[in-house]
Amino acid sequence: MSNHEHDFIQACMTVLRGNQMTSNGFRYTRPAPHVYEQQWLWDSCFHAVAYRWLDPAMAWDELRSLLAGQVKNGADVGMIPHMVYWQGGGEALWGHDKHSIITQPPLIAIAALAIYEKTGDSTPLYEFYAPLCAYHEWFMRRRDADKDHLVSLIHPWESGWDASPRWDVPMGLQMPTDEQSKSARHGLVATLRDADMDMQILADKGSFCVETADFNAIRVADLEALAQIALIIGESGRRWRDEAKLACEVVRQRLIQTDNDGNMTICDLSGSAEMPIITPSASQFVLLFGGCLSPEQAEKLVNRLQSSAFWTPYPVTTTPSDHPQFDPAHYWRGNVWLSVNWLIWRGLRRYGYHEIAHDLVARTLTLVKNHGFHEYFNPMTGDGYGPSQQSWTTVILDMALTENLA
């Protein structure tokens, strides 16, 4: 190992260790001190993927604590909340002291499989399988009211892309200010609570209810990982493999539109009427991660990814740079996020675009080395924003070590 590699690994470790917590005997990692004190769902998955190179016991513990937060009773039994309040404090917003009432992108089976692949240790998979099945059963029971194999989000926070221009239309907002967009998201929580998070009631009311391409593609990949975990521990897993195939097919048929000239558009579907919403964003590239594209479709998408609209000096910008609402300095309005880059990088590798994947990692590594472990970055200048010790930014380690680049 070179000195550089050693120093970089140490730097990642310092960020993660600094944000680590123990509560009720469970260990987890805060996304960042002061700003994000709770345990967050998809953050913990990225932390686990980074920890698998550094401290496998902690990688398993990160997922173990997340699963311990699973909802135990009521209509949402089985859901993994997007925030677990280990010290309490959720009551005022969510009506629950210890957890939120919505979820986030399901990457837990994917993260568990990634740790297993690195360590060869299958023991925790026996323990995780039942809660992971219950989580996916929850999706099918509570988030697929029309049984079309696409699950719906009932709040933009569930996507992880909180303030993205993608949500302006389904939130009924037009060119909102930060304040307007924030207050709309907080207001929506009251609506969710009134409807007891029942998506049919919410859809009938015209509340935010969106079947998104990226979330559904991530779900496909997580179902595939769950099916693989099943085989490793001697279960059949057929149910999850079948659901993954069906969901993948529906994503392909309903969320990818191709016009007579062969132009391809990826859309999300909003409300009971399933109105297509097309707001260009990097979320479309997450379809690569889910394997939801034919090779020809993947090629079109990869060409688009490499256009200057997305392949900014520091790729990948989440809102294209030629979009009227592109704002490189504003939270989710046109920035680079390591969570999204990791998904796209894995998707590129899945479809055999190894050189582009490698280049993406090289550029992302330069970004982090030169600008620090920020929460998100300016895609033009590389300036970092948000906390400077953001845990999930260490997922660059997974990318860099896999690509022999650290």
The token duo for 401 is 């070590």
Least Cβ distance, residue 43 to ligand GLC (angstroms): 5
Residue 173 or 264: the one with the smaller Cβ distance to ligand GLC is: 173
Angle at 200 between CA 211 and CA 158, to 5 degrees: 40
Least Cβ distance, residue 329 to ligand GLC (angstroms): 16
Strands 268-270 and 210-211: antiparallel
Q: Which of 12, 39, 43, 84 forms a contact with ligand GLC (CB under 6 A)? A: 43
Residue 162 or 359: the one with the smaller Cβ distance to ligand GLC is: 162
Least Cβ distance, residue 359 to ligand GLC (angstroms): 25
Least Cβ distance, residue 88 to ligand GLC (angstroms): 19
Identity of residue 389: Q
160 binds ligand GLC (CB under 6 A): yes
Least Cβ distance, residue 270 to ligand GLC (angstroms): 20
Residue 43 or 398: the one with the smaller Cβ distance to ligand GLC is: 43
176 binds ligand GLC (CB under 6 A): no
Alpha carbon 405 to its chain centroid, in Å, reads 24
Which range touches ligand GLC (CB under 6 A), out of 40-48, 86-94, 111-119, 284-292? 40-48
90 binds ligand GLC (CB under 6 A): no
Residue 378 gets the label, from left (phi > 0), alpha (psi -120 to 50) or beta, of beta
Least Cβ distance, residue 40 to ligand GLC (angstroms): 4
Residue partners of 271: CB distance under 8 A and separation at least 6: 170, 203, 206, 209, 210
Residue 40 or 215: the one with the smaller Cβ distance to ligand GLC is: 40
Residues 328, 380 contacting (CB under 8 angstroms)? yes
Angle at 258 between CA 257 and CA 262, to 5 degrees: 160
Residue 100 or 228: the one with the smaller Cβ distance to ligand GLC is: 100
Q: Which of 19, 28, 31, 142 forms a contact with ligand GLC (CB under 6 A)? A: 31
Least Cβ distance, residue 252 to ligand GLC (angstroms): 26
Which range touches ligand GLC (CB under 6 A), out of 37-45, 173-181, 214-222, 320-328? 37-45
Identity of residue 406: A
Angle at 99 between CA 146 and CA 170, to 5 degrees: 40
Tell me the C-alpha distance between 344 and 324, whole Å.
24
Least Cβ distance, residue 7 to ligand GLC (angstroms): 25
Residue 30 or 149: the one with the smaller Cβ distance to ligand GLC is: 30
Tell me the C-alpha distance between 39 and 338, whole Å.
18
Which range touches ligand GLC (CB under 6 A), out of 39-47, 226-234, 302-310, 364-372? 39-47
Q: Which of 207, 210, 166, 176 is CA-nearest to residue 190?
A: 207
Length of the chain: 406
Q: How far is CA 99 from CA 66, 93, 170, 219, 357, in A?
A: 11, 10, 25, 22, 36
| Element of type H or E holding 372 | none
Q: Which of 8, 26, 28, 40 forms a contact with ligand GLC (CB under 6 A)? A: 40
Residues engaged in binding ligand GLC (CB under 6 A): 31, 36, 40, 42-43, 160, 162
